[in-house]
Amino acid sequence: MNFRKRIELTLLLTLAVGLISTGYAKTHRDMEAGEMSQDQQPLPFAFSVSGGALNPWQDRVVNFHLSVFSGEVRGVQGLQLGAISNHVTSHFVGYDATGIYSRVDGNYAGFQAGGIVSHVGGHFVGMQTGGVFNKVGADFFGLQTAGILNNVSGNFTGLQISGIHNRSKNVRVAQISGVSNEASDVEGVQIAGIVNHAKHVKGVQIGLINHSEKLDGIAIGLVNLSESGRVHMVSWASSNENFQVGVKFAPNDYWYTILTVGKHSGPGNRDTFGSFESHLGFHIPLVAKFYTEIDVGTGNTLPGDFLTLESMEAEQMVEARVALGLRITPRLSVVAGLSQKTVSDDYDFWNGSTGRSKPFFGIQI
């Protein structure tokens, strides 16, 4: 099954969680309980002030459980509401909304909302949301959202979203986090504000720093590291007295990013220093040891008499490069090509810019 079909299937099943929950619940009733005795049939309603030994409902399955401070029941097949905390010692099927802490020791199918923490010990099918933290002890299928942290001990299939960090074993479809994502194998997308980490990625990583042991796809960021890829030192110079020296991160044979510093000649050949650029591009092998590379970069420069990018004399630039390379050794290459650079020393970049095309020559080690 290709990636697009996986996304469509996941969204469809997540939206149809009610039907999934019904089948999931029936399976567990048939497998674990068989025919329930009359006294173990679900109670229509249970009301708890506090859980514990004095709670008369702690060994019962209920359809509707309402608690004031804390509540504990054996299982829920329906609806659970609580102001502070609720604890289900077996399985849960349905909807749970608890003010602070919601815990289910068994499997869960449906929707779970904990004001601060949502915790499920077994498998989860449906949607789980926690204001701070979500924890699932086995496999997860559906949508998981948390203000700070999501943690799934098993395999994750669906969409995992958090404000700070996502962690799962194997991920199918997507992880999205404000700071970092962590997984073993990823088949889909990892998007993080700062760091993505995975052992094996089949898909896309998007973040400031992307790390993998093996990448079968694309990593988009300032620093892209893969143990199956390479890191090179690069340098190039052009006839407009512009030179750049930097680091090239190539997590696989087809995709790379470059971070450089150097010297740039501004409009009117006014010399500047402190040129900073970042490039994103792809590598295309040709015949023998030849290859071509196409990338797009952006950056800024610092004028010689200013020390801040906020100066009106600072320049903004966008550069596109097309290069032909010759690999002399596995690490040493020489390149030559054409650079189209658009530069502006005005805050209105698009209306106050000038463009120029120049040949460049470089080396990669």
**Local confidence band at 17 (pLDDT 50, 70, 90 cut-offs):** very low
**Region of residue 188 (left: phi > 0; alpha: psi -120 to 50; beta: else):** left
Nearest to 188 by CA among 166, 150, 157, 167: 157
More confident residue, 50 or 37: 50
- Residues forming a β-bridge with 151: 135, 167
Give CB contacts under 8 A, 24+ apart, made by 151-157: 154/123, 156/183, 157/10
Tokens 């929950």 belong to residue = 21
Span 294-347, pLDDT tens digits: 999 988 876 655 444 444 456 778 889 999 999 999 889 999 999 888 877 655
Of 63, 84, 83, give the one whose Cα is nearest residue 74: 63
The verdict on pTM exceeding 0.85 is no
Percentage above 90 pLDDT, the chain: 57
Instruction: Tell me how far apart the alpha carbons of residues 289 and 361 are, in angstroms, rounded to a whole number.
Output: 18
What CATH code would you report for 232-364?
Answer: 2.40.160.20
Q: Does pLDDT of 51 surpass 70?
A: no
What is the per-residue pLDDT across 107-143, written as a single tens digit (0 to 9) for each? 999 999 999 999 999 999 999 999 999 999 999 999 9
Radius of gyration over every alpha carbon of the chain, rounded to an integer in angstroms: 28
Confidence of residue 54 (pLDDT cuts 50, 70, 90): low
**Residues 212, 171: Cα–Cα separation, whole Å:** 14
pLDDT at 9: 46
Exposed, middle or buried: residue 140 (CB in 10 Å: 0-12, 13-18, 19+)?
buried
In this prediction, residue 48 has a pLDDT band, given cuts at 50, 70 and 90, of confident
Burial 22-49 (b: 16+ CB within 10 A, else e): eebbeebbeeeeeeeeeeeebeeebebe
Cα gap 105→103, rounded to integer Å: 7
Cα 106 to Cα 194: distance, rounded to the nearest angstrom: 34
Q: Retrieve residue 217's tokens.
A: 């796809």
Q: Give the pLDDT score at 255.
A: 85
Give tens-digit pLDDT for 235-286: 998 865 578 899 999 988 888 999 998 876 655 555 555 678 899 898 999 9
With cut-offs at 50, 70 and 90, classify the pLDDT of residue 355: low
pLDDT score of 313: 58
Compare 52 and 89 and report the one with higher pLDDT.
Answer: 89
Dist CA 312 CA 173 (whole Å): 45
Copy the structure tokens of residue 124: 């989860």
Domain ranges in the chain are 3-177, 232-364
In 3-state terms the chain splits into helix, strand, coil percentages (rounded to 5) of 10, 60, 30
Scanning the structure block, which residue is given the tokens 């992880």?
175
Secondary element (H or E) of residue 329 = none
- Distance CA(87)–CA(58), nearest Å, equals 9
The pLDDT of 351-360, averaged and rounded, is 70
Which residue spans within 178-254 are E strands per DSSP?
Answer: 180-192, 195-206, 209-220, 223-226, 230-238, 242-250
Contacts of 55 (CB under 8 A, 6+ apart): 48, 71, 72
* Sign of the dihedral through C-alpha 157, 170, 175, 278: negative
Report the pLDDT value the prediction gives residue 191, as an integer from 0 to 100. 98
Residue 108 in tokens? 């869960």
- Say what the pLDDT of residue 301 is: 74
Q: What is the pLDDT of residue 58?
A: 82
In Å, how far are 52, 83, 84, 345 from 49, measured between CA atoms?
10, 10, 10, 69
pLDDT digits (tens, 9 = 90+) for 273-298: 567 889 989 899 999 899 999 999 98
CA separation for the pair 209, 75 (Å, rounded): 44
